[in-house]
Structure 1
Amino acid sequence: MTSHPITQVSRRSVLKGLTALGAGTLLVPSVLRQAYAAAVTDGEVVTGSHFGVHYAKVEGGKLVAVRPHEADLAPVEQGTTLVDWAYSPTRIKYPMVRKGFLKDGANSDRSERGKGEFVRVSWDEALDLVASELKRVKDEHGNGAIYGGSYGWRTPAMLHNCFNNLYRLLNLNGGFVDDVNTYSTGAIRVILPYVIGTSYYDSSTWPSIIENTEQIVFWGSDPAVCCRIGWSVPNHAGLKYLEEYKATGKPSISVNPINTETAKLLGSDWVAPRPGTDVAMMLGIAHTLLTEDLHDKEFLANYCTGFEEFSAYLKGEPDGTEKTAEWAAEICGVSADKLKEMARSMASKRTLITMGWSIQRQDHGEQGPWMAHTLACMLGYIGQPGGGADFTLHYGSYGTPKGNGPSFAGFPAGEASKDVPAPIPCSRVPWALANAGEKYDYNGQEYTTPDLRLVIWAGGNPFHHHQDRNQQIDFWQKPETIIISDINWTQSARFADIVLPISTLFERNDICNISEQNAGLCAMQQAIEPLFESKTDFWVYSQVAKRLGFEAEYTDGMDEMGWLKHIYDEGVAKAAEKGIESPDFDTFWNEKKVWMYDVTDEKRNYVQFAKFREDPLLNPVATPSGMFEILSRKIAGYNYDDCPGHPTWMEPFERLGGAMSDKYPLHMTSSHPDYRLHSQLDNAELRHKYEVKGREPVWIHPDAAEARGIADGDVVRIFNDRGAVLAGAVVTDRMKSDVIRLQEGAWYDPAEPGEKGSLCKHGDPNVLTFDKGTSKLAQGNCAHTALVEIEKYTGDLPTITTFEPVA
């Protein structure tokens, strides 16, 4: 084993040496390029991104165009903007360190994060500093003081996956504190295993749904937008299937305070409840099914447990409040007649309820998906083609028939240590950073927050995805050291101490699955040399491993192409055991490049829970009872005051018609953006297509705009007790009159960098959201529970600076 002893970096000597580097000094690409890189001078290579399968065109060594590959069934505009994304002025060009941290290290003034000056260092100096900080914190406080963060939408890849590269380093170093679940699915991932015995991924296929359903209810979901992106490389099959469903002429209902792109495409019956009242609305529908004898009593008796207790709740026996359609209408703002009409329609037609994840990103978010599944149980269509409840069809390529091809393990993260504190629910991580020793409940157990001294974060953008930005600034000052590796100068990088530049997907070789459903495999071939001094995740963390003494264990003696061939060969060897024939790696990489797998009739027509419906005794679901649990005695046994044992309406901390609505009479929805992936691409030129005077657009209803003297194109100030942002008004009737839409993902741009309470000049909605767990059960985030007020902004417009380069 080769070792590289940790260099004790002299911060003063680093500062002294900066003059020699010079701000304009660039290492030539041939020095930066790794020996096995295969960049082209002219021509096209195949690659993929979160926005599709692409051809990347290079002229004179420069990326000049990205166009869709034939495997992309419904190309989206985001893919073509990746050229200016790669060359964005926001690229992190060199390793950089906050000046105060170079001077004082762990004793630096941490209030300087977000506003302190950064200085350039060499790669050797930066890597020595990272390794020395990991060693210092481990020696002084133990591995339980290191938090490894890699939450977020990293570049899709099997080798240069920032998650696994960082986690492999930290696991080889003795362990680290991890997080659990996601901001997207914090509540639903926890609640559904109690209810249906599994998570939400096992969707019935679109072909089966389109052929057999008689009606789809899109509840809080907008697949026409969310299917534009994918966790892996999407082929946009979901968009194609939406068009196929439209061609059938079958009806659909869109339950959403916004008239979505999906509703417009399909001509859906648009039903607009008050945000956050979906559970009450579904209870009113359920009560109608019960009292009009429209519920499937045989299905409830044979496949479910707990309906007797739940029906008593509907009838008001335990609390004295009958959950009638009239009761629900007072809460949700949809008429009782409409709720009864929906109940009768859903009972008379084989109905699929497909619920988006927005419903569970609310206060008491566990209740929405639980109640949707309960409603589907009452209808009795679960396990039949085209019926039931689904929680994934709104996004990516879910519902695409699974391909009959290899599965690839990817770059291994290594074995996690059992000698570190338990993972923290990811939406509670910033709170945990600043609250060492605090008790909290999660999923039936009580935990204590660790004393986290060092944060090392690869990819992701916590200063986008976390709630209550101003409180987060306080939390972020607690750790002694924050290290970020990323492609761009996000605000997360600006709030770090050490920043490492990472190459884009165009500057390295990799492979990736096509679609979340394993529909195929895509080569991701290097198109251009790494820009400036950017490096791959694999290179960066292998070099830190070298300094910590375990480079050989990290690399296993393989370079980039060696690992890609190993990952590929391992997957096809396992596939061969199942009789699946595969091309060898060289044939795939050099000739095939995009490999779409065959699909069997069985997988094309897959129906979730069909086997359970056919024989519930031989094919029980993985709940304690082996049945769908409308009442979970396990959850009831936790005695949580914010998550009872069956679906229940509980007042959120604020809502229209409820708490705080007198002070803040508008509800802000922060839906997924039309032309971004969260905050990705907000720094691309595509933003100029939708921005209003350089700000994130906010939709406001004509009635609300007129009452406030706001005209289309005005810059407005949106505010509540948690903060304030500027945005550009788009006056439209595509939402309820007391709802505004500010899509998530706008880069945070404080008027006073690093200062708590500063006005965001650009329109980051998480300045306005509340940082609270959904309940003691799941501790998911509540980003969609947010009341605000809005007014015309009459001051001088401040300059947008969040897209300006740091150096």
Structure 2
Amino acid sequence: MNTKHSKVNISRRHFLSGMGACAAVGLLSPSLLVPGQARANADATRLVLTGSHWGAIRAKVVNGRFVEAIPFELDTHPTTMINGLADHVYATSRVRYPMVRVDWLRKRHLSDTSQRGDNRFVRVSWDEALDLFYQELERVQTEHGPSALLTSSGWQSTGMLHNPGAMLSRAISLHGTSLSTGGDYSTGAAQVILPRVVGAMEVYEQQTSWPLVLQHSKTIVLWGSDPYKNLQVAWWCPDHDEYAYYAQLKEKVASGEIKVINIDPTVSSTHEYLGRDKVQHIALNPQTDVPLQMAIAHTIYTENLHDKRFLNDYCVGFEQFLPYLLGTTDGQPKDAEWAAKICGIDADVIRTLAKQMSTDRTQIIAGWCVQRMQHGEQWAWMIVVIAAMLGQIGLPGGGFGFGWHYNGAGVPTRKGVILGGFSGATTTPPIHNGDFKNYSSSIPIARFVDAMLSPGKSINWNGKAVTLPLIKMCVFAGTNPFHRHQQYNRMIEGWKTLETVITVDNHWNATCRFSDIVLPATTQFERNDIDQFGNHSNRGLISMKQVVAPQFESRHDFDIFRDLCKRFDREAAFSEGLDEMGWIKRIYQEGVQQGKTKSIAMPDFDTFWKEKEYVEFQGENLWVRHQSFRDDPDLEPLGTPSGLIEIYSKTIASFNYPDCQGHPMWFEKAERSHGGPVSAKFPLHLQSCHPDFRLHSQLCESETLRKLYSVDGREPLFISPKDAADRGIKNGDTVRVFNDRGQVLAGAVVSDRYKTGVIRLHEGAWYDPVWGGEHAGLCRYGNPNVLTLDIGSSDLAQATSAHTALVQIERFSGEAIKVEAFNGPKEMIAQCEYVPKPQQ
């Protein structure tokens, strides 16, 4: 194979002969590196329409530089986060060139893996980087087989074409079979238990239309859900239309037409928006939601407030659950007095809450945070049980929902088309279709570090036994496992067992720093694409025009994986003979054909792309979740074995799991604050929920946004006045947060929105470890997953238990430690002529 190599001022041969012999080795300051392409094609001021996870914008471009994001005129509730989008292109943390870790370049898969994360890399050409990528695929597939290769992707960008996960999946599957994963970190426990209980995943689905909720609901219970904060971002380009309905809800709450109850240890952003004095706050102790749920159910039953007809006609298993609820099986009635001691909520308050929910139409809005704890399945199950006892499932403004804070749920859906996109699937068979060697071909995603540390171990997972594989190589595209996984010091030990880690990304997040080969991808503002405008609303379609040229040597994921496929003669199967605009046109034209079947007229592609730029659909449809099931359970059964709501599940009972049995139960946690296990040593419960000013770890690189929330350059740590005073901590202090798993620095924000004994560090803060000296192992910036616990939620889901975490805090009195997370790597340069590796 003949591959043309570009020249770079690096001698790989000279470098490998010894670092000491190089003419120069040093750190290149990001401020000294000026991208040539960014200087090219300068033009006058122009506005470019594009979309993003944060909404649609008109990008203001001056002399070829993206300088400002102006909200799209159809987005009447834009998020502040769009002010950080230009930083996403130009931040000092951009991955500028293909880079390879120093010791890996010397020794390949025999490198010293304990050096991963030391941030020392060598710049190579694109051709050599992709050759190395291909050679490692060949080696691992040939020597170890598919169970040794794990790939993963995430949220990186919107757009129907430029989906890094789909491109990674197609390219790798054309080369060979590999290990697959199931579940996710957002809804891991709920998405496994709910299909067993109500026959559908529930968490990502449309909810009852807001106009019907506002018309019919008398009580809305926000249970661990903060939609006002979380709806700023979405999977496709959000239209933010749901905020108009929250404004109407605020008016109805103020007038007393609707009562809102917030069950949460904190005053959420939604609670704050609706009015602290207007919303009832049930500030329970963290991780005690299930005892509270049990007590509500106990009160509803013993006060004869339950809907007997609904339980009889639409449910199975209430009779099997009742003995546990009443205490006849274990001698402990799950009444309000029992729950009060665990939850920290007065028994009379619990009984009043149960009666309020039973009095009139009640909509339960359940979030995802609570199920991200040990035994999180039980909380999701009990949400359904309470709603079934109330008997309002399938009625407008009643029942339950688990997705109200996601993708604009509740906004009426318009009659329109849903575009396809670039698919990770392919009909071309792989070159390597090897033996999994008695390892499982699929594992739960949240247990992939377990596989690194304990290959060959057998675990339970949703009714089957899984043998954890011996993973040798990981490839990541558009994802950052060093924001979403737990217990980083344990994770780093697992990382050392990997022979090769390759990451395709556009910023030097921690996953890049812990990789061996890093390939620079463009941001979504450096390419063309097309996206849905609005998610559940399906408001329309929007063109995503290229705002600026690709920076430095970054390439589209499409081009990266297409060039990789060239190396094993699968380029045609990958690209299907189309370039970027060819794919966009095909995706749009398939939408046009779909529209014809629905009598929806759409302009031709050239008119859409060059003139209209967006298409808006009409015809809003009001909808009630589970109404068809309620109207006729025989013709519209649920996807459970019985076709009904399963309060008792014979299937789950048959698994014989000690930590997830046939009906919902209360299980003590491995660690729990307010008198629970380990609380004497580490008394503070750590929340690590979604941030206010970024999407997971995306936009943490934005200095513009960090100025809005960081404290002396570090992630804010929110703490109650009493907890702060007890530790001599003042607003703005640098604090050390620690437990037996690790330690981080953060900036104190004293706030009365937090219950005593509860603190918060937002997930997605960039991991910034100190490697040597007195503070070795300390995260300088404030990532909570240094501290969180890496155990499965239960044998059923094996999901994350991130919110089962206790810590202690003290004021940091040591010398100032500079944050280094956003500076990019140390680039090791040898000033010699570049000599490519001979082709094999």
TM-based fold match above 0.5 = yes
Question: Is the contact between residue 470 and residue 756 of structure 1 (CA under 8 Å) also seen in structure 2?
Answer: no
- The separation in 2 between residues aligned to 1:486 and 1:97, in whole angstroms, is 14
Aligned to 2:287, the other structure's residue is in SS state: coil
Residue 109 of structure 1, aligned match among 109, 112, 116: 112
Question: Is the contact between residue 373 and residue 800 of structure 2 (CA under 8 Å) also seen in structure 1?
Answer: yes
Residue 172 of structure 2, aligned match among 170, 173, 176: 170
Q: CA deviation at 1:617?
A: 1.3
- The separation in 2 between residues aligned to 1:434 and 1:594, in whole angstroms, is 49
Aligned to 1:678: 696
- The separation in 2 between residues aligned to 1:89 and 1:556, in whole angstroms, is 36
Residue 358 of structure 2, aligned match among 341, 347, 351: 347
- The separation in 1 between residues aligned to 2:352 and 2:312, in whole angstroms, is 25
- The separation in 2 between residues aligned to 1:170 and 1:745, in whole angstroms, is 28
- The separation in 2 between residues aligned to 1:149 and 1:754, in whole angstroms, is 34
Q: CA deviation at 1:16?
A: 7.1
Q: CA deviation at 1:782?
A: 0.5
- The separation in 2 between residues aligned to 1:14 and 1:341, in whole angstroms, is 77
Aligned to 1:433, the other structure's residue is in SS state: helix
- The separation in 2 between residues aligned to 1:134 and 1:407, in whole angstroms, is 35
Aligned to 1:647: 664
The 5 Å alignment of 1:355-754 reads 355-415=366-426, 421-517=440-536, 518-600=538-620, 603=621, 605-656=622-673, 657-685=675-703, 686-752=705-771
Q: CA deviation at 1:579?
A: 2.3
Q: Does 1:238 align with 2:242?
A: yes
Does the C-alpha gap of structure 1 residues 739 and 27 become closer, same or farther in structure 2, counting only changes over 3 Å?
closer
Q: CA deviation at 1:21?
A: 13
The 5 Å alignment of 1:788-807 reads 788-806=807-825, 807=827
Deviation readout 1:321-374 (Å, 9 max, x if unpaired): 100011011111111111101101000120011111011100001011110011
Q: CA deviation at 1:246?
A: 1.2
Q: CA deviation at 1:85?
A: 2.2
- The separation in 1 between residues aligned to 2:73 and 2:206, in whole angstroms, is 27
User: Residue 90 of structure 1 aligns to which amino acid in structure 2?
Assistant: S
Structure 1 gaps, min length 5: none
User: Residue 142 of structure 2 aligns to which amino acid in structure 1?
Assistant: D
| Equivalences, count | 795
- The separation in 1 between residues aligned to 2:139 and 2:514, in whole angstroms, is 21
Of the structure 1 ranges 172-181 and 781-790, higher mean CA displacement relative to structure 2 is found in 172-181
Of the structure 1 ranges 354-363 and 431-440, higher mean CA displacement relative to structure 2 is found in 431-440
Question: Is the contact between residue 16 and residue 106 of structure 2 (CA under 8 Å) also seen in structure 1?
Answer: no
Of the structure 1 ranges 718-727 and 172-181, higher mean CA displacement relative to structure 2 is found in 172-181
Residue 156 of structure 2, aligned match among 150, 154, 157: 154
Aligned to 2:134, the other structure's residue is in SS state: helix
The 5 Å alignment of 1:149-298 reads 149-150=152-153, 152-200=154-202, 201-249=205-253, 250-267=258-275, 268-298=279-309
Of the structure 1 ranges 453-462 and 12-21, higher mean CA displacement relative to structure 2 is found in 12-21
Question: Is the contact between residue 401 and residue 599 of structure 1 (CA under 8 Å) also seen in structure 2?
Answer: no
Q: Percent of aligned positions with the same letter in both sequences?
A: 45
Residue 62 of structure 2, aligned match among 56, 59, 64: 59
Q: CA deviation at 1:753?
A: 7.0
Of the structure 1 ranges 371-380 and 196-205, higher mean CA displacement relative to structure 2 is found in 196-205
- The separation in 1 between residues aligned to 2:777 and 2:120, in whole angstroms, is 19
- The separation in 2 between residues aligned to 1:6 and 1:467, in whole angstroms, is 42
- The separation in 1 between residues aligned to 2:456 and 2:99, in whole angstroms, is 33
Aligned to 2:47, the other structure's residue is in SS state: strand
- The separation in 1 between residues aligned to 2:213 and 2:329, in whole angstroms, is 38
User: Residue 262 of structure 1 aligns to which amino acid in structure 2?
Assistant: T
Q: CA deviation at 1:805?
A: 2.2
Q: Does 1:98 align with 2:101?
A: yes
Aligned to 1:366, the other structure's residue is in SS state: helix
Question: Is the contact between residue 40 and residue 527 of structure 1 (CA under 8 Å) also seen in structure 2?
Answer: no
Q: CA deviation at 1:464?
A: 1.2
Aligned to 1:359, the other structure's residue is in SS state: coil
Q: CA deviation at 1:757?
A: 6.3
Question: Is the contact between residue 262 and residue 281 of structure 2 (CA under 8 Å) also seen in structure 1?
Answer: yes
Of the structure 1 ranges 785-794 and 580-589, higher mean CA displacement relative to structure 2 is found in 580-589
Question: Is the contact between residue 147 and residue 441 of structure 2 (CA under 8 Å) also seen in structure 1?
Answer: no
Q: CA deviation at 1:787?
A: 0.8
Q: CA deviation at 1:479?
A: 1.2
- The separation in 2 between residues aligned to 1:120 and 1:436, in whole angstroms, is 34
Q: CA deviation at 1:142?
A: 1.8
Deviation readout 1:189-226 (Å, 9 max, x if unpaired): 11110111111114212222122211110000111100
Deviation readout 1:515-553 (Å, 9 max, x if unpaired): 331332221100111011111000000000011211111
Aligned to 2:57, the other structure's residue is in SS state: strand
- The separation in 1 between residues aligned to 2:587 and 2:616, in whole angstroms, is 18
Q: CA deviation at 1:154?
A: 1.3
Question: Is the contact between residue 153 and residue 231 of structure 1 (CA under 8 Å) also seen in structure 2?
Answer: yes
Q: CA deviation at 1:804?
A: 1.2
Deviation readout 1:68-99 (Å, 9 max, x if unpaired): 00121311110122112211000000000011
- The separation in 2 between residues aligned to 1:21 and 1:724, in whole angstroms, is 32
User: Residue 194 of structure 2 aligns to which amino acid in structure 1?
Assistant: L
Aligned to 2:530, the other structure's residue is in SS state: strand
User: Residue 689 of structure 2 aligns to which amino acid in structure 1?
Assistant: S
Residue 310 of structure 2, aligned match among 264, 276, 299: 299
The 5 Å alignment of 1:768-787 reads 768-787=787-806
Does the C-alpha gap of structure 1 residues 363 and 21 become closer, same or farther in structure 2, counting only changes over 3 Å?
closer
Deviation readout 1:25-57 (Å, 9 max, x if unpaired): 878429x99xxxx99753111111111111011
Aligned to 2:450, the other structure's residue is in SS state: helix
Question: Is the contact between residue 659 and residue 794 of structure 2 (CA under 8 Å) also seen in structure 1?
Answer: yes
Question: Is the contact between residue 770 and residue 776 of structure 2 (CA under 8 Å) also seen in structure 1?
Answer: no
Deviation readout 1:710-747 (Å, 9 max, x if unpaired): 11111111111111111111112111111111111211
- The separation in 2 between residues aligned to 1:26 and 1:719, in whole angstroms, is 40
Of the structure 1 ranges 406-415 and 272-281, higher mean CA displacement relative to structure 2 is found in 406-415
- The separation in 1 between residues aligned to 2:42 and 2:53, in whole angstroms, is 21
User: Residue 311 of structure 1 aligns to which amino acid in structure 2?
Assistant: L
Deviation readout 1:392-451 (Å, 9 max, x if unpaired): 002231222222111112001114978654322111112212322111111100011122
Deviation readout 1:290-331 (Å, 9 max, x if unpaired): 000011111111100011111221101111110001101111
User: Residue 52 of structure 1 aligns to which amino acid in structure 2?
Assistant: G
Question: Is the contact between residue 316 and residue 647 of structure 2 (CA under 8 Å) also seen in structure 1?
Answer: yes
Aligned to 2:51, the other structure's residue is in SS state: strand
- The separation in 2 between residues aligned to 1:500 and 1:547, in whole angstroms, is 16
Q: CA deviation at 1:699?
A: 1.3
Q: CA deviation at 1:289?
A: 0.3
Residue 77 of structure 2, aligned match among 74, 78, 85: 74
Of the structure 1 ranges 605-614 and 509-518, higher mean CA displacement relative to structure 2 is found in 509-518
Q: Does 1:325 align with 2:336?
A: yes
Deviation readout 1:251-287 (Å, 9 max, x if unpaired): 1001110101111111311111111110110101110
- The separation in 2 between residues aligned to 1:649 and 1:84, in whole angstroms, is 46
- The separation in 2 between residues aligned to 1:19 and 1:284, in whole angstroms, is 73
Question: Is the contact between residue 98 and residue 520 of structure 2 (CA under 8 Å) also seen in structure 1?
Answer: yes
Aligned to 2:747, the other structure's residue is in SS state: strand
Q: CA deviation at 1:778?
A: 0.4
- The separation in 2 between residues aligned to 1:575 and 1:39, in whole angstroms, is 39
